């Protein structure tokens, strides 16, 4: 079993950049763009319990903001279980984390996000 804890220092700037871009888009009212940055942050941080849980917390808040019962209801179990799955290394790689996708389905990782993992000295898969 491969136990994961915190986001590697080499990955932190990319994760933080996505969260910052989310905050800027959210504040500007561009909710579509904001959501894309949350999904990207999810993919980058999903192997690490604290980062993973934090993104699901932001997604839950987003669900309340857009008044989406589906997103709010979908985020609650993800928020409760996502970090545990990360800790034991059992995450669906590339999953964007929203309630609009199955929680345990893996997805291909976009090339630019793969490049982030490469620059950080990590594997995307």
Picking from 85, 105, 87, the residue whose alpha carbon sits closest to that of residue 96 is: 105
pLDDT score of 2 more than 60: no
Domain count, the chain: 1
What tens digit of pLDDT does each residue of 31-46 get? 999 999 999 999 999 9
**Is residue 92, in this structure, part of any structural domain at all?**
yes
The predicted-structure confidence for 70-101, as pLDDT tens digits, reads as follows 999 999 999 988 888 888 878 899 999 999 99
**Within a domain: residue 7?**
no
Q: What is the pTM of this model?
A: 0.93
Q: Is residue 6 part of a domain?
A: no
Q: Is residue 74 part of a domain?
A: yes
Computed over its alpha carbons, how large is the radius of gyration of the chain? 14
Question: Would residue 39 count as lying in a domain?
Answer: yes
Domain of residue 21: give its range.
Answer: 12-119
Predicted pLDDT of residue 85: 84
Flag whether 75 is in a domain.
yes
62 belongs to a structural domain? yes
Position 6 scores a pLDDT of: 86
């Amino acid at each position: 079993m491969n136990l994961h804890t915190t986001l590697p220092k080499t990955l932190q700037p990319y994760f933080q950049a996505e969260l910052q871009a989310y905050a800027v888009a959210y504040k500007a009212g561009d909710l579509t763009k904001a959501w894309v940055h949350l999904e990207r942050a999810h993919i980058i941080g999903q192997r690490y319990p604290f980062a993973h849980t934090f993104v699901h917390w932001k997604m839950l808040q987003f669900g309340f903001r857009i008044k989406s019962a589906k997103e709010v209801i979908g985020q609650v179990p993800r928020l409760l279980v996502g970090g545990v799955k990360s800790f034991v290394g059992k995450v669906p790689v590339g999953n964007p984390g929203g309630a609009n996708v199955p929680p345990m389905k893996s997805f291909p990782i976009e090339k630019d996000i793969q490049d982030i993992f490469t620059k950080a000295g990590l594997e995307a898969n």
